[in-house]
Amino acid sequence: MRQKRATAVKVRKTFAVVVDGDTEVWYLQMLKRNERSINVNIEPKIPQKKRLSEQFEMVVNLSGDYTEVFWIIDFDTLVSEAKDAKKGAKNSIQAFLAYRKEIKSKYRNITVIVNNPCLEFWLLLHFERTSKYFSSCEGAEKQLKKHLKDYEKTQKYYTKQNNDIYLQLKSRLATAINNAKQLGCFNSDSTNKAMSEMQLFFEADELGQLF
């Protein structure tokens, strides 16, 4: 009797993306809504308490269940928290650098992505190749409004039907990726450097061919 040939079962890749703010969640949701051909299940995750330690714990736990885990950090949040830290205590920047080092040495399927100061700088790179450092997200947002005059940090704006944030920027995505690459990656010795590592997400093996 002829044996049946075993058929290979294609397992769908799964990405978990841990973030500390709603804007990143809305942005990723709009990516999923508009790019139906992506053969990757992208799941944005936001910790309930949003503390850095809880984010790190979630990232590590998810690495056992997902193909790839991305941890997106707005560096201006860490700077703000560090200013409020008690004198002599380990601040949020020091804690993050320690977590980042541990991830790089132990977890091959976790990618840490830093936006300095915030996601709005990544959005700005769709329009400008700028290395201007904004000490707060408000500054980056103000510059972004020169291009997106009606920009609002609201769910209504980000998810507007037929004109959501991803659709508005889609034609400029390749420009943003190139601009981000030109700025280089996060450097712990130069934390006041304007940069975004969002290209690391879009250049993941499962997404790179599309973008």
| The pLDDT of residue 131 | 97
Relative to beta strand 68-74, strand 13-18 is parallel
Pair of tokens at residue 9: 């079962």
Listed by start position, the domains of the chain span 13-208
Q: Which two tokens stand for residue 208?
A: 């790179």
Give the whole-angstrom CA distance, residue 32 versus residue 42: 7
Quote the pLDDT of residue 12.
Answer: 67
Q: What are 4-46's pLDDT values in tens digits?
A: 444 444 456 899 999 989 999 999 999 999 998 888 999 999 9
SS3 at position 113: strand
Half-sphere exposure of 112 (CA within 13 A, CB side): 26
pLDDT of 13: 86
Q: What percent of the chain has pLDDT over 90?
A: 81
